[in-house]
Structure 1
Amino acid sequence: MLTTGEITDVLYRLFIMAAKLGGPILLISMVVGIAISIIQAATQINEQTMTFVPKLIVIGILLVVTGSSMLKSLQEFTLYIFSMIAS
C-alpha cells in the first residue's frame, strides 16, 4: 500500500512530466501563433488556415526532433510507476 508521501511524490513527478512534455509544444505553438497574428494584422488578411497550417507544421517538426526523448521520459516514468506498484 502506498503512503501519502509516496502518492504525493508520484503526483509531483506526474505534473513535472506533463510540463516537460507539453510545455515546449505549447510555447512553440504560442510563439508561431503570435507571429502569424502580427503578420495578419499588418497585412489585414484574416484567414483561419493561415494560423493553423504553420502551427501544425512547426509542431510536427518539433515532435520529430524531440519525440524520442519525450518517449524515453514517458518510458522511465512508466517504469517508475510500475516499480512503485510492485513494491
Structure 2
Amino acid sequence: MLTPEIAVDLVSESLHIVMLLVALLVVPGLIIGLLVALFQAATQINEQTLSFLPRLMVTLLAVMLMGRWMVGYLMDFCVSIFQRAATLVG
C-alpha cells in the first residue's frame, strides 16, 4: 500500500534526479555565458550571436558527453520505480 512516506520519498528522489540532470546541462552553459559576457564587457563587443553560439555548443557537447550516463541513470530509476510498485501491489 502506498503510504504518504513512500510517496514523499518517491517525489523527493524524482526531484533530486531532475535537479541533477538539469544541472549537468545548464551549469556548463552558464559558466560559458559568464565568460563570454566578461569578454564582451572587456572588449565592448555587443554581438548577440557571440553569447548564444558558445552556450549552444557547450550544451550540445554536454549532451553528447553525458547523454549516455543520463539515460542510463533515468533507466535505472525507472526500473527501481517499477520494482517498488510491484512490491507495493503484491
Same fold judged by TM-score > 0.5?
yes
Q: Distance in 1 between matches of 2:75 and 2:24?
A: 19
Residue 27 of structure 2 aligns with which residue?
Answer: 27
Shift of 1:82: 1.9
Q: Distance in 2 between matches of 1:24 and 1:71?
A: 13
Q: Distance in 1 between matches of 2:15 and 2:44?
A: 40
> 1:53 is aligned with what amino acid?
L
Question: Matches of residues 7-86 of structure 1 in structure 2 within 5 Å?
Answer: 7-86=7-86
> TM-score by structure 1 length?
0.91
- Which 4+ residue blocks in structure 1 deviate beyond 3 angstroms? none
| RMSD over aligned Cα atoms | 1.1
> 1:58 is aligned with what amino acid?
V
Q: Percent identity?
A: 31
